[in-house]
Amino acid sequence: MKKGLAERWKCEKQPGGPENFPYAVMSGDEVISWAKTREDAEFIARARDVVPRLVDEITLLMSGVDNIRNFVRNLDEDLHALEAEMKRRL
């Protein structure tokens, strides 16, 4: 696997799993997880790709929120400093 690329998980029906869990989530030849339904197995396999992207998007949004918070805090401090300077000059 190339560095920076996530391994691809796939789902398929496999014999030898736990009772009532006929579907396996596979990484190559290795079973990562067993699932009762194909939909569950597909969800688990897709989550491998989707969750890291969601984390990246949330991190980006939170950094934006932090930037706004810092801007407002600096604006508030600057307004207090301006008010104090204006009072000092009167």
Model pLDDT for residues 20-58, shown as the tens digit of each residue: 999 999 988 899 899 999 999 988 888 887 888 889 899
pLDDT band at 2 (very low <50, low <70, confident <90, very high): very low
Does residue 36 sit within a domain?
yes
- Measured in whole angstroms, the distance separating CA 51 from the mean position of its chain's CA atoms is 5
Based on the structure, what is the number of domains in the chain? 1
Structure tokens at 62: 């939170």
In a domain? residue 5: no
In a domain, 45, yes or no: yes
Give which of 2, 52, 35, 55 is closest to 26, Cα–Cα. 35
Find the helix or strand (DSSP H, E) in which 43 lies: helix 38-89
Residue 2 is assigned to a structural domain of this protein: no
Domain contains 52? yes
Query: Residue 33's domain spans which residues?
Result: 10-89
Whole-structure pTM value:
0.52
* Residue 5 neighbours by CB under 8 Å, 6+ apart: none
- The answer to whether residue 29 is domain-embedded is yes
